[in-house]
Amino acid sequence: MIARRTSNHYCWFVLTVVASVLGVLVVGGCTQPKRVQVEASLLPPASKSLPSELTHAANLDSSQLRALTHERAELCLVLSSAARGFEGLNVRAHCVEAARVRLHAIATSSVDDEMFRARCAEEFVVARVDDGAAHCTGYATVELSAARSRSTLFRFPIFGDLRKAAPELLQRDRAEALADPRVDALAIAWMPDAFSWALVETNGTALLRFEDGTSLAISRVATNGRPWKSLSRGMKELGALSPQASTLAELEGAAALRPDLAETAALSNPRFVSFEVRAIDRFPPAIPDGTLRANMSCAADPSSFPLGSMLFVGPRSAFGSAPEMQWRCVQDTGGAIGGSRRIDLYCGIGADALRVAGEINIEARVSLLLLRASLDGLGLSSP
């Protein structure tokens, strides 16, 4: 019995030494992540506190670590373009930016994926906003035919940047804006039907192709701030779309079958969007910099998930045959995205991306990546 105790004690000592070399601490028979010291600039002000709805801090699980490791070079590019700096940030945005800065440093300095995963497990936790439940949809940069001037075939205007050209229009609803005599001068393009008109405004970015072979890359810069009423909702209210319809293909089919009702539904949306022309080589634009990346970028409400937030989104049903857990970086805000329970996943450019985006309409679980040291610095318990 004495010999067995001595042997167990020796084994426990060896295990502790090995574990400490590997970067973890052994406490009470369980491996615990080591508390890593980080630069003081990354820590939030001690006088601040995180919002109470940010809950359920937990260690990263294996699926989240695998997701981060997948395409690490692309992860580095996204993290680099999402840089914001710390000036003027509230405490949640500060914690998000600290996590981005540290994750970028670890991703670029780790010599291999094994080291990267180990360091992520040591230094990061995930937290939920409220219970973490969110409704996920997809969006894409649409590529559509358009005209530069109004005609009988192209009757639906895409407004240019109204913030300087006609800021008073941004105080009006859609019907009032369309009645303004300056519409032809303020429109930068015209769409052929209500479906494509709504598609451009909903997705917020578009590549418009003109008959002369030229193109125009546009992105959303402002709205009139009125409530958003989707084309799908309007068509359902008019009885032109089944109440059970949930895909873009179903909406497109219904709009083609009854273009008159699609126009009525589009006009019933009081919110309209103002766009600016962008350089095609830096398109579609991400916020604050860089470009949106398919299957890596997403749009969210910045009051819940500040720009630059690294999110984990699951489950598998959200992505068909894709891995069960995927990360997304918040690089867009979205015109119809509000609160912690709505996430819009960016799927790329063109018809195929749009088809994929139109099929994403699921309930998912969303977690926010934070530095363990941030929670410790705020006096909150982390795993």
CATH number of the domain at 203, please.
2.40.240.50
Residue 249 lies in a domain: yes
Q: Give a yes or no: residue 19 inside a domain.
A: no
**SS3 label, residue 243:** coil
If residue 377 lies in a helix (H) or strand (E), which one and from where to where? Answer: helix 372-377
- 187: its two tokens: 């429109």
Helix (H, G, I), strand (E, B) or coil at 30: strand
- Look at residues 36, 130, 51 and name the one whose alpha carbon lies nearest to residue 93: 51
β-bridge partners, 327:
312
pLDDT tens, residue order, the chain (383 aa): 333 333 444 443 333 333 333 333 332 333 455 556 556 667 766 556 666 666 678 899 888 999 899 888 999 999 998 888 888 888 888 889 999 999 999 999 999 999 999 999 999 999 888 888 888 888 899 999 999 999 999 999 999 999 999 999 999 999 999 999 999 999 999 999 999 999 999 988 999 999 999 999 999 999 999 999 999 999 999 999 999 998 888 999 999 999 999 999 999 999 999 999 999 888 998 988 889 999 999 999 988 899 999 999 986 444 443 446 789 999 998 766 777 788 999 999 998 998 898 888 888 889 999 998 887 766 665 66
Q: Where does 124-273 have alpha helices with state H?
A: 162-165, 174-178, 183-186, 194-203, 231-237, 248-257, 259-267
Number of domains in the chain: 1
Q: Which domain holds residue 218?
A: 154-282
Alpha helices in 22-147 (DSSP H): 62-69, 72-81, 91-109, 113-123
pTM across the whole model? 0.75
Determine the Cα–Cα distance for residues 360 and 326; give it in Å rounded to an integer. 14
Q: Is residue 246 part of a domain?
A: yes
Count the Cβ atoms, other than its own, within 10 Å of residue 38. 19
Q: Quick check: is 227 in a domain?
A: yes
Assess if residue 242 is contained within a domain.
yes
Q: For residue 369, is it within any domain?
A: no
162, part of any domain: yes
Q: Which two tokens stand for residue 362?
A: 């699921």
Q: Is residue 236 part of a domain?
A: yes
Task: Render the burial of 322-357: b for 16+ CB within 10 Å, e for the rest.
Answer: eeebbbbbbbbbbbbbeebbbbbbbbbbeeebbebb
